[in-house]
Structures are given as C-alpha cells and as structure tokens.
Structure 1
Amino acid sequence: MDLSTTEAGPDQEEDPEDAELRREALKAAQDAVSKQKLLTIAGSSNIDLQTPSTMPVTSTVQAPELFKGTLKEYQLKGLQWLVNCYEQGLNGILADEMGLGKTIQAMAFLAHLAEEKNIWGPFLIVAPASVLNNWADEISRFCPDLKTLPYWGGLQERMVLRKNINPKRLYRRDAGFHILITSYQLLVSDEKYFRRVKWQYMVLDEAQAIKSANSIRWKTLLSF
C-alpha cells in the first residue's frame, strides 16, 4: 500500500477555514508543551521518566473534575507520569498488569488535557474490535462531559458516522465530539477520512496488535 495515494489531490484542496482550525489546534498543543518545558528548566527537575523511582512520592497532579471517579494512589502516579511525558513532548507505554486500570488512567489523562490545558481534542483511541464497546461505556461512565464518536460498523453505518469528522466542529469544548474510538483494522481501511483531522493525542490499546514496526498499521499510525 502506498500511503501517499491517500493525500488530497489538486481537486481536493483543503478548505481555508479547516486549515486555520488545524493550525490553531496545533499551536495550542505546542504552546502547552513549550510552557511546561520552560517551567521544567526553571525548576531544575530531576525526574527521569524512564526511572519510576525518580517520580515524586506524592502526585502533584490531581484527578480532574471532569473525571467522575476516584483514582487509587498508584493510578494517580500513572496519571502524573502520563502528564509528565506529555509536557516533555514524549510518547509513553503504560505497562501496568491487566486489571489495574490502564483505561481509567488514560481517560483521566484526556480529561486533564481538556480541563487544565483547554485542549478538547479531538483525541483518537485505537483498540481491538473486542474492546471498543468497553471504551465507549467507560468514557460515558467516568467522563460523561467528553463526547465520543464510536466509529465502527458496516460500510453504510460508517458513511453516516463520517459526517461527524468535520474539522469545523472540532478542537473546542462545544465540538461535535472530543474522542473518536475505532479499531486498528478500520483505521487502516478508512485512513483518508481520519486524515481530515489534526489529532491532539492518540491512545493505542493492546498495542501488540501492531505486530511489526514495518507493518501497514504502524506506518499509518505514525503518519498521523
């Protein structure tokens, strides 16, 4: 598959308003990271994100009000770690054992971005088809103010859902949706529709589904 074939051609020029919204969203994210890097330098932080023992004993990040639940102490530390990674402009792998609440921590983190940094997405969650409903249910339960777009189903259903992937209705609190949830398979097959958006953060659940750094899935994800 040649990924370049999905780029817009001469007859598919980007709407100027869409382009401006994408630029504003990118600037908001870049400003948040730049501001935190200045604070980190000023504070001479000794945190090594690859060495958990250097993390603060007590989390300095509180559970966001948008998150309607109670985080356990280790989950708060996980949230702190995710926030620190984001503020350093780094990707991270949250590798807790099964059942310890990785989904919860990821949701709390997205709520933190919205509440503390005024970054309301759009966020992209990619997961195996078997857990898509679980993600939608958990977000509805714990972060009801974050609107989701469950993107799966047959071709006709997805054609209807695509109408919601409109940059003019994104990047703000009153957006049509804040979080889009889809599967790895659909991400690749419907790639050109996802490219319309400047995604602010991407969560990959069960990332072993990528299988190989040379796979089409991984190359597609990296291209976002």
Structure 2
Amino acid sequence: MLSAVAENAARKRAELGDVPKKTMNQTMYLVKWAGLGYEHCSWETKKDVNDDKLIAEFHKLNNTFPDEPDMPMEAKEAWLEFRDKLYDPNEPHSYKNGNRLRDYQVEGVNWLASTWYKKQGCILADEMGLGKTVQIVCYIEHIFRVEKVHRPFLVVVPLSTVEHWRREFEGWTDMICCIYHDRQRVWRDVLREYEWYYEDRPHTAEFLKFDVLVTTYDTLIGDFDVISQIPFRVAVVDEAHRLRNQKGRLLECMREISAKGTMQYGFQSRVLMSGTPLQNDLTELWTLLNFIEPFKFPDLDNFQLNFGNMANREQVESLQQMISPYMLRRVKEDVAKDIPAKEETVIDVELTSIQKQYYRAIFEHNHAFLNIGATRNTAPKLMNIQMELRKVCNHPFLLEGVEHRETDRQFKEFSEKGLFENKAPEEQQRLLNEHGYIMTSGKMVLLDKLLPKLKQEGHKILIFSQMVKMLDLISEYCDLRDFRYERLDGRVRGTERQKSIDRFENDPESFIFLLSTRAGGVGINLTAAGM
C-alpha cells in the first residue's frame, strides 16, 4: 500500500498514486486522500504534498521490481525434518518498531510456520481476543523474510476489519499491503491501475507492486474475474465460518483461488481464522477441513458416519486426534491469565403495559386491535409471528405503524391532561420522545436507569442488536440524553467504520458504541469498552 502523508493543518491525509508528471515546469503528483475514494483524487505539486519522506517512499515503490525468482518450493532437508520451534517464546523476535509477540503468540506463529514446512493447510481457532490477526501477520512476515517468498499473499476479511489489517501489516512488517475495496467497480479499476501495476511493466501477476492483498468477501466475489488471475502463495480467510455454506459463492471462489495457487507453485498455504469453527453442526467443520485439506477430508458422508452423532467419549477423542494437526485452539484462561475473566449478568426485564397489549394481540391474531388507526399497509404484519413477538419484546415501535399510532395517542392524552400548557414546541416534543422511546419499552427503561450511572463512573459501553431499527431507536435515545455515541452497522461505509472505532477508543467523551451483531460482531478490537 502506498504510504500516507502526515496530517496537515486541515487534518487530511493523502496517498501518492500516479507517477509524477511535468506541468508548467513543475512536477505534479496524483494524490489519493486517505479516507476518500479514488473519485476524489487530485493532482498536487511537491510543495503542496510537503512530505519528502513520503515522496521518497513513492519513488522507491514505483521503481521496485521482483529482481530474483522465489526460492523453489522444495525445502532443504533440514526444513523437511520440521522445526517445531522456530522462535523462542522466552526471547521473541523483534519486529518492525520493536514490536514483540506474547509467548503464546510466538507458539502460534511457530505452529503456523510448521504447517508451511509440512505443506498442509490449517485453522487458527484461538478464542476471540488472543490476537489471531497479529499471529497471521507475523506468519506471512516469516515466509516473506525467512523463506524469501515475496509475493503475492491474499487475505480475505470482513469489511469492518480491513483498516485494522492494514495497520497491523504496516506496524509489524515492511511488506507492501494493498487494501482492495471500493463500493463501485469503476474506482476499483482505477485502484488496480495505480496500486497493482507499474506504468512501464506488463499488467500481469508477475509484476505486482504489492506483497499482500487485503480484500473483503463481497469484493472478492464481485471482482473474482480479476483476482482469480493471480496465483497466491498464501490464502487467508478471516472469520472463516463464512465458508460453512457448501454451495456458497465465497467458498466456490476460494476453491478456485486455491487451485490456481497450487497449480502454479505446487503448494498454496491455506489458512482459516475463526474463533467459532463449530457453530451449528459437524457438517460446517467438515466444510472448513475439506477446504484446507481436500485430500485428507474428501468425503462428508464418511465423516458424518464416524462423528455425526458424537454419542460417546471415544468419538470425541478420535475427532480431536484427527483434526489436531490442522487446528490450533487456545482459550484465554489457558494462555492469557492476565486478561480479566468475562463476567456475565442476565437481567430479566418485565414488559411494559403497552408491550403486553401488542404481544397478546399478535399472539392471538387480534387484527381488530392491531388495525386501530392504521391502514392495511401500515398495520403490523403477522406473516412471521415469532419475529413480530421478538420485535415487541425489544420495543413496540419496531412494529409497522405503531410509532405513529402511539405518538398520536400520547399527544392527545398529554393535551387533555394539560401537560403541554405553557411549553414550547421543543419541550412538548421532548416529553413525547421521553415517553415514546423510553417508557414504552422495558429494556429502554432499564437502559435509562443504568447508563447515566455508568457514564458518571467513567465506563464505556457496547450495545449490540440484531435489529438495525432498534439501533435507530437507541440512537434517538442517545440524542435525547446527550450521550456521545458511535455506530457500526451494514449502512456504515468501510472508511467510516474505522474512524468510528478510533473515536471510541481515543476520545474520552465517546460513551456508547452501537453495533449490529452482523457487521460489528466479528474481528473488531474495542479495548476501551468495559461493558
């Protein structure tokens, strides 16, 4: 990835993209502004760039070619004897900027590297929070530095984590990392022109600028016709349970990429990362094992016959023995005793009277009650009763048409009681919002009691929800109570996601982070939060 210009007075960062051109007797550089897409690129003079170090790095990048072939895949006899310990955990290797791994992370890199020498795929299944990302980065760096395998490496990750991966590669290695993601294909075409290829070299896989390509699941699928032309030495998939669907497009794409790399080099290191490799049943586990080692785990029926029901201890032990060479799983209490144990508190919340009314009406299919004050199109839908009951248990406003109906009813009730007398329209709206957003939901009543106390004590809070509309309601509540918050769900663009994470981590005034379980529940480090 091209280096970033230091922040200027306007706190904007830029990245140099195109080769310089001469205009009016001065050199111009095409600048990609960090955090913005390629549609916002601009030509700037050297004086405007005002960063000699960055310009030197830019010229170095655009004049660096692979000057010697990679080492042959056949390892020396010494390597074939499999060195189980490549690094001493008591004297960890010093990476870029003096960074050092923790002892269990060193053991993880040793294990990953041993799979390279054994020419086998693997699954790094450490529990969340143990640093799987940095272990993979150091594994790739080991292949790059020790084995002189320079490029290319592929890492496929969730959108929310792409910037984190870039920072880890730039902070721990000297490798060139290209973040390949943009919502529009036309700008990804521009990105490839400037960040993949040299101007005066063929635009082929033999002459790539980058060492590591980090991309997202959707970008890989959308641009598979381009990405699949590159034979990768290592292919990593973060949150690999996304591959569990045997008929899914992502798994199909990764299999073709694996075949391409294997045909080109004789062996491609396939590495999966997942803190939850087994989510529902053993079929999903077999799918992952079949991807990394298709010849060792070729038959699903035979796998299910042997391990499908797990009826006795012998089956469990037999399965553990079979997969142990291919999977490494550690948990916090075993390897990171300095990390505080997670405490879980379950609080039972009673439904409010309004929630009880709608719950009973939905459960009993009482259309007469549900249609009061609503048209046929705005009344709550009863096609999926279970989902509608889940909605009303969170907040009745999640039901179709209920927010407008209840707000009108409450406005009339407050007016009749004289609660709006001598109050400005803003105060009237505040009263309605407090009743609507808070008092109609048992969960919101509890939040309204807890959050002011937690804020006073200096805590930072994460709030997850499976329903984006519920996050909308909590956002309105935060505005009502003047709580500073960040938000991450499927509607937040990739560049804005990392900015939200940084603000929450570094800004002492940022109190709450609202996250959807789908977009925010994977691969994000939020160490500032305590609850």
Q: 8 Å contact 1:126–1:184 — kept in the other structure?
A: yes
Q: How does 1:1-40 map to 2 (within 5 A)?
A: 28=70, 31-32=72-73, 34-36=74-76, 38-39=77-78
**Structure 1 residue matching 2:178: 3-state secondary structure:** strand
Which residue of the partner structure matches residue 149 of structure 1?
Answer: 178
1:107 equivalent among 116, 122, 137? 137
1:179 equivalent among 212, 226, 237? 212
Provide the aligned C-alpha RMSD in A: 3.1
C-alpha change, 1:67 and 1:194, in structure 2 (3 Å) is farther
Which residue of the partner structure matches residue 123 of structure 2?
Answer: 93
> Which blocks of at least 5 consecutive residues in structure 2 are unaligned?
1-67, 258-531
Q: 8 Å contact 2:94–2:100 — kept in the other structure?
A: no
Which residue of the partner structure matches residue 255 of structure 2?
Answer: 222
Shift of the alpha carbon at 1:110? 0.9
**Structure 2 residue matching 1:93: 3-state secondary structure:** strand
Paired AA for residue 184 in structure 1:
Y
C-alpha change, 1:105 and 1:58, in structure 2 (3 Å) is closer
Which residue of the partner structure matches residue 133 of structure 1?
Answer: 163
> Which blocks of at least 5 consecutive residues in structure 1 are unaligned?
1-23, 48-54
Which residue of the partner structure matches residue 244 of structure 2?
Answer: 211
Which residue of the partner structure matches residue 11 of structure 1?
Answer: none
**Which 10-residue stretch deviates more, 124-133 or 153-162?**
153-162
C-alpha change, 1:57 and 1:64, in structure 2 (3 Å) is closer
Q: Distance in 1 between matches of 2:196 and 2:244?
A: 28
Higher normalized contact order (CA 8 Å, seq sep 6+, divided by chain length): 1
TM-score w.r.t. length of structure 1 = 0.71
Q: 8 Å contact 1:148–1:179 — kept in the other structure?
A: yes
Shift of the alpha carbon at 1:192? 1.1
Shift of the alpha carbon at 1:66? 5.1
Shift of the alpha carbon at 1:218? 0.6
Which residue of the partner structure matches residue 348 of structure 2?
Answer: none
- Cα deviations by residue, 1:18-50 (Å, 9 ceiling, x for unpaired): xxxxxx96xx46x34x215x3365x4x6x9xxx
Shift of the alpha carbon at 1:157? 2.2
Structure (1 or 2) with the larger CA radius of gyration: 2
Q: Distance in 2 between matches of 1:218 and 1:147?
A: 27
Q: How does 1:61-80 map to 2 (within 5 A)?
A: 63=93, 65=95, 68-80=98-110
TM-score w.r.t. length of structure 2 = 0.32
Q: 8 Å contact 1:59–1:80 — kept in the other structure?
A: no
Q: Distance in 2 between matches of 1:84 and 1:168?
A: 34
Which residue of the partner structure matches residue 476 of structure 2?
Answer: none
Q: Distance in 2 between matches of 1:125 and 1:64?
A: 23
Q: 8 Å contact 1:124–1:180 — kept in the other structure?
A: yes
Q: 8 Å contact 1:170–1:177 — kept in the other structure?
A: no
**Structure 2 residue matching 1:35: 3-state secondary structure:** coil
C-alpha change, 1:182 and 1:169, in structure 2 (3 Å) is same
Identity of aligned residues (%): 25
- Cα deviations by residue, 1:65-124 (Å, 9 ceiling, x for unpaired): 458511111101100000000111111001111111110100001111111011112111
**Structure 1 residue matching 2:75: 3-state secondary structure:** helix
In the alignment, is residue 200 of structure 1 matched against residue 229 of structure 2?
A: no
Which residue of the partner structure matches residue 148 of structure 2?
Answer: 118
